């Protein structure tokens, strides 16, 4: 791999959200000669302490608003919950950015995702939306194998998201399913939920109604 920087200087970068996606972005930015990780914002104090210990010299903030004001960067990675992507991404786009990364799904609704893309396009900025399931060798081999008919006629696709919520993890599988079946007709779709009947979290609210 060529480690020669592709710009005259490393682009400064910040990450909003210190969860799994944010940690991956922070690590990649820290390891790249093309970027200089400057700051990470997360509401969780423990996460901020972990970031400060892991990345010496990187500033931490309890909100993206504070980080954008006190430590603006060339690149912003939005790695928060989908329902907050629009607010954070549109706030980031007020900075003189060179590029932006927004985790998938772009938004918690199609309309939110469309507004984010329209705003990015209006700034004529490059955008990255990571999706490893459609880039790694094994799932791509599965797609090709099914399309070639290696397993015969595809009659059932079962997707399970144990220990993961449908908004953050299920979107992977729904998108993979769409690519898997292509234009083939769908006879029926069954969805089942076996968690708590009422689930409240900062990710959103889920209510099960009989």
Say whether both 108 and 195 belong to one domain: no
Taking only the tens place, the pLDDT of each residue in 66-93 is 999 999 999 999 999 889 999 999 999 9
Taking only the tens place, the pLDDT of each residue in 104-121 is 888 888 899 999 999 999
How many domains are there within the chain? 2
Q: Which of 40, 97, 101, 103 is nearest to 73 (CA)?
A: 97
Taking only the tens place, the pLDDT of each residue in 50-63 is 999 999 999 999 99
What's the CA gap between 179 and 134, in Å, rounded? 9
Query: What's the chain's length in residues?
Result: 210
Q: Where is the domain boundary, 100, 128, 156?
A: 128
Say whether both 114 and 137 belong to one domain: no
Q: Where is the domain boundary, 128, 154, 189?
A: 128
0.75 exceeded by the pTM? Answer: no
What's the CA gap between 132 and 102, in Å, rounded? 14
Beta-bridge partners for 77: 15, 101
Q: pLDDT band for position 202 (50/70/90)?
A: very low
> Which are the contacts of 54, defined by CB distance < 8 A and separation ≥ 6?
none
In a domain, 114, yes or no: yes
The parent domain of residue 139 ranges over: 132-207
Rounded to 10 deg, the angle between the 137-147 and 171-181 helix axes is: 30
Q: In sequence order, which ranges of 124-194 are alpha helices (DSSP H)?
A: 137-147, 171-181
In a domain, 29, yes or no: yes
Q: In sequence order, which ranges of 4-107 are alpha helices (DSSP H)?
A: 20-31, 45-54, 64-70, 82-92
Say whether both 87 and 178 belong to one domain: no
Residue 208: what pLDDT?
A: 47
The answer to whether residues 79 and 51 touch, using CB atoms and an 8 Å cutoff, is no
Q: Where is the domain boundary, 128, 152, 180?
A: 128
Provide the CB-side half-sphere exposure for 34 (13 A, CA). 10
């Amino acid at each position: 791999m060529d480690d020669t920087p592709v710009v005259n200087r490393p682009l400064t970068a910040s990450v909003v959200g210190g969860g799994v996606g944010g940690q991956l972005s922070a690590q990649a930015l820290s390891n790249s000669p093309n970027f200089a990780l400057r700051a990470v914002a997360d509401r969780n104090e423990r996460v901020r302490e972990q970031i400060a210990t892991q990345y010496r010299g990187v500033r931490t903030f309890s909100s993206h608003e504070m980080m954008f004001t006190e430590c603006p960067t060339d690149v912003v990675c939005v790695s928060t919950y989908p329902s907050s992507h629009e607010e954070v991404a549109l706030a980031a786009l007020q900075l003189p950015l060179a590029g932006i990364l927004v985790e998938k799904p772009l938004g918690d609704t199609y309309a939110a995702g469309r507004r984010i893309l329209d705003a990015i396009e209006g700034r004529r900025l490059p955008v990255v939306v990571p999706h490893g399931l459609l880039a790694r060798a094994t799932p791509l081999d599965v797609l090709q194998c099914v399309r070639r008919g290696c397993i015969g006629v595809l009659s059932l696709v079962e997707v399970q998201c144990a220990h993961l919520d449908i908004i953050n993890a299920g979107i992977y599988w729904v998108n993979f399913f769409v690519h898997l079946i292509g234009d083939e007709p769908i006879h029926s779709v069954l969805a089942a939920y076996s968690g708590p009947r009422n689930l409240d979290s900062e990710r959103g609210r889920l209510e099960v109604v009989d």
